[in-house]
């Protein structure tokens, strides 16, 4: 579904991402892990179009998207969440999701139509909110929701755009153990329907959910394989996993 060849991003003399080859197979949950500063988020920003590469290529499906911007990639079916929750805090939960759904209906610039008349977008928003257990909060301002519910709302917004690929950047960051568990359960459910690429420092989450793992270190790919293979890799343990994962 997605692959890169020699993908590189330089900031001056520093290569934050250095000649990365990555392959994401359809129907998999692929985790990207590594220590702080390994280049994971820079890689995500390259995949989603937030940054342009210094060298290399990105192919999504059968299309070269290397020079497309983030909006164009979203229209092609890439959905992205961020380390920091990214919602419109002064709009309701329903309005946040409806705007995302509306972006796919051709009504994005229907400025003189009443929002209540956007039947397709409204129905999609109701459906997605119900799926995430947020329907009872539909009329609440997004900024008033608890942190865990804001994270779920961000995922709901992403799904309302009808993606085929989800890029999730440290979704459990800053959440309580209870909210993190709720999010983990939701991601596990989504993995049955979507191809997911996940950056995450929560190693129990990664080892529980991922079918494939790529490990980065100093901007390069250090290792790739199944969770069992990554656990057993001495280089990975030395660079990152340490005592966090039992052999």
Domain stops at, among 145, 162, 179: 162
Q: What is the pLDDT of residues 188-220, one digit of tens each?
A: 889 999 999 999 888 888 888 899 999 999 999
Check which CATH number belongs to the domain holding 167 and give it.
Answer: 3.40.50.300
The reported pLDDT for the residue numbered 105 is 67
Q: Are residues 131 and 168 in the same domain?
A: no
Q: Please report which confidence band the pLDDT of residue 153 belongs to, taking 50, 70 and 90 as the band edges.
A: very high
Q: Are residues 247 and 147 in the same domain?
A: no
pTM confidence score: 0.86
The reported pLDDT for the residue numbered 181 is 82
Q: Are residues 241 and 169 in the same domain?
A: yes
Q: Are residues 35 and 110 in the same domain?
A: no
Mean pLDDT score, 159-179: 88
Mean pLDDT score, 46-58: 96
Instruction: Give the DSSP H/E element, type plus range, for residue 171.
Output: none
The reported pLDDT for the residue numbered 242 is 54
Q: Are residues 113 and 137 in the same domain?
A: yes
Q: Are residues 71 and 170 in the same domain?
A: yes
Q: What is the pLDDT of residues 67-82, one digit of tens each?
A: 999 999 999 999 988 7
Q: Please report which confidence band the pLDDT of residue 243 belongs to, taking 50, 70 and 90 as the band edges.
A: very low
Rg (CA), the chain: 19
Q: Please report which confidence band the pLDDT of residue 136 belongs to, taking 50, 70 and 90 as the band edges.
A: very high
Q: Are residues 149 and 92 in the same domain?
A: yes
Buried b (16+ CB within 10 A) or exposed e, 187-201: beebbeebbbbbbbb
Q: Are residues 63 and 104 in the same domain?
A: no
Domain stops at, among 139, 162, 185: 162
The reported pLDDT for the residue numbered 113 is 53
Q: What is the pLDDT of residues 222-239, one digit of tens each?
A: 999 999 999 899 988 887
Q: Are residues 130 and 205 in the same domain?
A: no
Number of folded domains in the chain? 2
Q: In what order do the strands lie in the sheet with 55-60?
A: 14-24, 2-11, 55-60, 63-64
The reported pLDDT for the residue numbered 174 is 80
- Residue 118 reports pLDDT greater than 70: no
Domain stops at, among 162, 189, 210: 162
Which tokens sit at 166? 């989800």
The reported pLDDT for the residue numbered 246 is 44
Cβ contact 87:160 at 8 Å: no
The residue assigned the tokens 């947020």 is 134
Q: Are residues 64 and 180 in the same domain?
A: yes
Q: What is the pLDDT of residues 9-37, one digit of tens each?
A: 999 999 999 999 999 999 999 999 988 88
Q: Are residues 46 and 146 in the same domain?
A: no
Cβ contact 87:96 at 8 Å: yes
- Residue 116 reports pLDDT greater than 60: no
The reported pLDDT for the residue numbered 173 is 81
Higher-confidence residue of 31 and 113: namely: 31
Higher-confidence residue of 245 and 89: namely: 89
The reported pLDDT for the residue numbered 247 is 42
User: Structural domain of residue 158, as residue ranges?
Assistant: 86-162
Q: Are residues 148 and 129 in the same domain?
A: yes
């Amino acid at each position: 579904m997605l692959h890169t060849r020699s993908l590189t991003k330089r900031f001056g003399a520093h290569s934050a991402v250095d000649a990365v080859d990555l392959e994401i197979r359809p129907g998999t949950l692929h985790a990207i892990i590594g220590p702080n500063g390994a280049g994971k988020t820079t890689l995500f920003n390259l995949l989603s179009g937030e940054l342009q590469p210094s060298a290399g290529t990105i192919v999504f499906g059968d299309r070269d998207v290397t020079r497309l911007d983030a909006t164009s990639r979203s229209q092609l079916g890439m959905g992205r969440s961020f380390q920091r929750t990214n919602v419109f805090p002064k709009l309701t939960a329903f309005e946040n999701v409806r705007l995302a759904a509306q972006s796919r209906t051709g009504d994005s610039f229907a400025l003189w139509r009443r929002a209540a008349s956007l039947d397709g977008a409204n129905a999609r928003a109701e459906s997605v909110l119900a799926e995430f257990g947020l329907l009872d909060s539909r009329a609440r301002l997004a900024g008033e929701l608890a942190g865990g519910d804001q994270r779920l709302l961000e995922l709901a917004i992403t799904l309302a755009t009808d993606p085929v690929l989800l890029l999730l950047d440290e979704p459990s960051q800053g959440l309580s153990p209870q909210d993190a568990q709720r999010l983990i359960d939701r991601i596990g459910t989504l993995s049955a329907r979507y191809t997911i690429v996940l950056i995450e420092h929560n190693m129990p989450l990664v080892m529980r959910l991922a079918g494939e793992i790529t490990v980065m270190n100093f901007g390069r790919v250090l290792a790739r394989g199944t969770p069992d293979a990554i656990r057993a890799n001495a280089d990975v343990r030395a660079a990152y996993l340490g005592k966090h994962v039992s052999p």
